[in-house]
Amino acid sequence: MNILGKSGDRWVYSPAVKDHFFHPQNLVDDLKNFNDKKYNGIGMVGSPACGDMMKIWVTIDPKTDIVKECKWQTFGCASAIASTSMLSVMVKGMAVDKAMKITPQDILKRLGGLPPRKVHCSVLGDKALRKAINDYFRQTKQYERIVVDGAVVVDPETKITDKDIEEAVLEGADDMKKLQQKLKVGIGNKAVYKKAEDLLAKYQEKYYG
């Protein structure tokens, strides 16, 4: 597979990349009228304040363990849009365990490649997808199925990590009540509560002073 096509100083994108950029599939383009209550897993990576952001909503059939729907929204570049559009097509009808193992390389292969400097954009989608599926596991109390990705576990019972708390703060959790409503972290565990409280203060200071 050729990851890069080059003509002079201009990058050449594959037909699949162009198609998914100009005609993105499963994109949420009207968030105001979007009913996210019908989805049982939500995952977000990045932040609009920091640049690229990706949010994914999934509907997983609890009887079959199949991803029935996958919607998304991003503030990313053309490559991020094309990558996530392709991902949303790939994952529909897929078993959850298989969906959790999708890699950026899988997406790149289906797209016919991306310029090297844009490969990182494909990482946003698969990370957000894993977070959405982990959210589904958490909502359905399937804690043993949660996959922790390069973070420190704060709550061993629910597998909430420091990254989960950081992202919750970026999404507006500015006190422990809001944090626990969002993540169910440290409920009935004073030691975990204190860790979560300290991280909440740390990220509030980091992002909002």
**Catalytic annotation present for 77:** no
pLDDT at 209: 64
Q: Rounded distance, CA 97 to CA 149, Å?
A: 15
Same domain, 36 and 93: yes
* pLDDT, averaged across the chain: 85
Query: How much is the pLDDT for 131?
Result: 92
Last residue of a domain, one of 144, 161, 177: 144
Q: What does the pLDDT look like over 120-148, one tens digit per residue?
A: 666 678 889 999 999 999 999 999 999 88
Q: Which pair of structure tokens corresponds to residue 139?
A: 């909502």
pLDDT of 8 > 60? The answer is: no
User: pLDDT tier at 2 (50, 70, 90 boundaries)?
Assistant: very low
Residue 161 pairs with which residues in a beta bridge? Answer: 153
71 and 164 fall within a common domain: no
**Domain shared by 91 and 187, yes or no:** no
151-191 pLDDT per residue, tens = 899 999 989 999 889 888 877 899 999 999 989 899 999 99
Task: Note the pTM of the prediction, 2 decimals.
Answer: 0.74
Structure tokens at 183: 């993540």
Q: Are residues 58 and 108 in the same domain?
A: yes
Q: Can you give the pLDDT at residue 95?
A: 98
Q: Own/partner pairs for 179-186, CB < 8 Å, 24+ apart?
A: 183/158, 184/138, 184/158, 184/160, 185/154, 185/155, 185/158, 185/160, 186/154, 186/155
Within-domain flag for 157? yes
Q: What is the pLDDT of residues 25-69, one digit of tens each?
A: 999 988 788 888 889 999 988 765 555 788 999 999 999 999 999
pLDDT, position 198: 97
- Residue at 9 is within a domain: no
Mean pLDDT within 96-103: 94
Structure confidence at residue 5 as a pLDDT band (50, 70, 90): very low
In a shared domain, residues 122 and 160: no
Residue 104 located in a structural domain: yes
Instruction: Enumerate the β-bridge partners of residue 74.
Output: 54
pLDDT at 167: 81
Q: What is the CATH number of the domain that holds 202?
A: 1.10.10.1100
Q: How many domains does the chain have?
A: 2
Q: What is the pLDDT of residue 64?
A: 97
How far from the centroid of its chain's Cα atoms is residue 182's Cα?
16
Question: Could you tell me the residue range of the domain that residue 96 belongs to?
Answer: 14-144
Q: Are residues 116 and 201 in the same domain?
A: no
Domain boundary among the residues 93, 122, 144 is at: 144
164 shares a domain with 134: no
- Give the span between the Cα atoms of 3 and 105, in whole angstroms: 10
> Does 157 share its domain with 132?
no
Q: Is 50 labeled as catalytic in the residue annotation?
A: yes
Identity at 97, one-letter amino acid code: D
Q: According to the model, what pLDDT value does residue 10 have? A: 52
For residue 66, give the CATH number of its domain.
Answer: 3.90.1010.10
Verify that 66 and 111 share a domain, yes or no: yes
pLDDT-derived band of residue 85, with 50, 70 and 90 as boundaries? very high
Which residue out of 50, 95, 147, 187 is catalytically annotated? 50
Q: Are residues 135 and 157 in the same domain?
A: no
Please state the separation of Cα 179 from the chain's center in Å: 18
6 within some domain: no
Say if 99 falls within a structural domain: yes
**Does a structural domain hold residue 7?**
no
**Closest by CA position to 88, among listed 112, 115, 57, 66:** 57
Q: Taking Cα atoms as reference points, which of 135, 13, 139 lies closest to residue 80?
A: 13
Which of 121, 128, 192, 199 is an active site residue?
121
Q: Which of 100, 117, 144 is the last residue of a domain?
A: 144
Among 84, 61, 60, 64, which Cα is nearest to 74's? Answer: 84
* Angstrom distance (rounded) from CA 116 to CA 112: 13
Mark whether 185 and 107 lie in a shared domain: no
End-to-end CA distance of the chain: 47
The pLDDT-based confidence of 149 (bands split at 50, 70, 90) is confident
Whether 184 is in a domain gets the answer yes
Residue 6, burial from CB neighbour count under 10 angstroms (0-12, 13-18, 19+)? exposed
CB-based contacts of 207: which residues, under 8 Å, 6+ apart?
49, 169, 170
Considering the domain architecture, whether residues 180 and 77 belong to the same structural domain is answered as: no
pLDDT at position 76 is: 74
